[in-house]
Amino acid sequence: MGRNVLSVGMRRAAWGLLAGAALVLSACGDDKTPDGDKGPGVGEEGPLFLVHSAVETNGSRTNYFSLVESLDQAKTLDYSKSLELPGRPRLYSAKGVGFFAIGSGEAPTITRYEVRDGAFVAGTSMSFQQLGVKRLGAQAVHFVSPTKAYYKDDAQAQIIVWNPAEMRVVKTIELPKEFIKQGYSTGLSQWATREGEAFFAVGWSTTVFDAVLPGAILVRIDTATDEVTWQEDSRCRDLGKTARIGDTLYFFSGVINGLGYAVKGTESAGQQDCILRISQGQKRFDADYVGSAAPALGEKKVGTVIAVTDDGMAWLQVADTTITPTAPGTTYREWYYKGWSWWRVPLATLRDPVRVPGEPGAYSAFTITSGSNFFISQSGSDYALSTLVELSTDTPKPGISFPGFVLDVARIR
């Protein structure tokens, strides 16, 4: 759910600047509930979401993992019913697996959790430390099945295959060491998956996150045999977000690509937003397709596709370069600071974009989709309270509120 899937260092840097808008989901879990109020997760009907949010005070962070059955309820979450953990943990989950995992923020250790009668129950833990992993990445896990999962490790250029039912490492898959370029930050995209296959893209940015190298590498894993193949492509770069429409997979260029293009305007730094596609039955990027919303957005606008809803609507954050800084030497902090607005456009045509009402503001790092609904969260500068807002309707609709800011959200049922 969302965030730009970039290197660990880049994600941390980006998070530090978002003073005005983090994108969210909400929830409400229950360790012990009174008779007659068993809380979310008891029944098997309807969706169930798990939200990872946090409150930070004087540099000390408290994390809350909360359950919620709906994303648009107009109420404030009660953290007394949530799982509370310190530090900077990671959430790993998938719909239908029957459990989720939490990675420690202080060590490369993952603990399995289940929800029983509305309560969080901790299970077995395992560590990747012996495999050279120093810190766990956000959204780095793909659950193939309840007994098989992949962890993509950008720092070590490897895929760790592990059994989440038994919480043990099965094997590692080494990736070419050329995937790591000396002096650059390696970024791995979100997973893009369909039956029997898992994909991600590899790209590279400067260590100060103001430009991205041309080109990308598409990695494909046969999830039955663990065979890995890869393909270089020179047409796009900084491929971070992904989407699946039917059995067609899409990859979208990221916000640092837009910064490089807007500030430096050279092929060595960035390009207008760029979309690549893997059609049904294909194992590579389509040779005859390169998409972009730039022609529809017009001059003085630089867009980045953040998510795609089930109705095929692509949601973009768009920088108005008459407001967003673009002078030579502009840093990513300055680039993210102002002039951003939300737009939507049909992915199939990339024509006739519609701007969501509202004043331009800061770039937002997190979004969530649920079916055809698209949510962000709006926060004050001090993150005392964040509110989930649905943008899919004609008028933005406020929903759940909660103290602090959101870090992740996953649908577990």
Task: Tell whether 53 is covered by a domain.
Answer: yes
Rounded Cα distance between 83 and 28, Å, is 10
Helix (H, G, I), strand (E, B) or coil at 13: helix
Mean of all residue pLDDT scores within the chain? 87
**Domain extent for 102:** 8-411
Specify burial of residue 376 (Cβ count, 10 A radius: 0-12, 13-18, 19+): buried
Q: What is the pLDDT of residue 44?
A: 54
- Which residues, in sequence order, are CB contacts of 278 under 8 Å at separation 6+? 192, 199, 218, 248, 249, 250, 251, 284, 285, 286
Whole-model pTM: value is 0.88
Buried b (16+ CB within 10 A) or exposed e, 254-288: bbbbbbbbbbbeeeebbbbbbbbbbeeeeeebeee
Residue carrying structure tokens 């698209």: 374
Q: What is the pLDDT of residue 6?
A: 29
CATH number at 326 reads 2.130.10.10
Task: Tell whether 232 is covered by a domain.
Answer: yes
Closest CA to 303 of 358, 361, 262, 332: 262
Q: What are 374-383's pLDDT values in tens digits?
A: 999 888 778 8
How far CA 20 is from CA of 336, 381, 382, in Å, comes to: 10, 5, 9
In the predicted structure, residue 262 carries a pLDDT above the cut 70: yes
Task: Tell whether 1 is covered by a domain.
Answer: no
Going 314 to 317 to 323 to 328, the CA torsion angle's sign is negative
CB atoms within 10 A of CB 208: 11
Task: Tell whether 2 is covered by a domain.
Answer: no
Contacts 24+ apart (CB under 8 A), 287-290: 290/235, 290/236
Highest mean pLDDT among 17-26, 159-168, 401-410: 159-168
Task: Tell whether 284 is covered by a domain.
Answer: yes
Alpha helices of 155-267 — where are they, by DSSP H?
A: 255-263
In the chain, the number of structural domains is 1
Closest CA to 364 of 383, 343, 340, 386: 340
Confidence of residue 51 (pLDDT cuts 50, 70, 90): confident
Task: Tell whether 243 is covered by a domain.
Answer: yes
Between 17 and 74, whose confidence is greater? 74
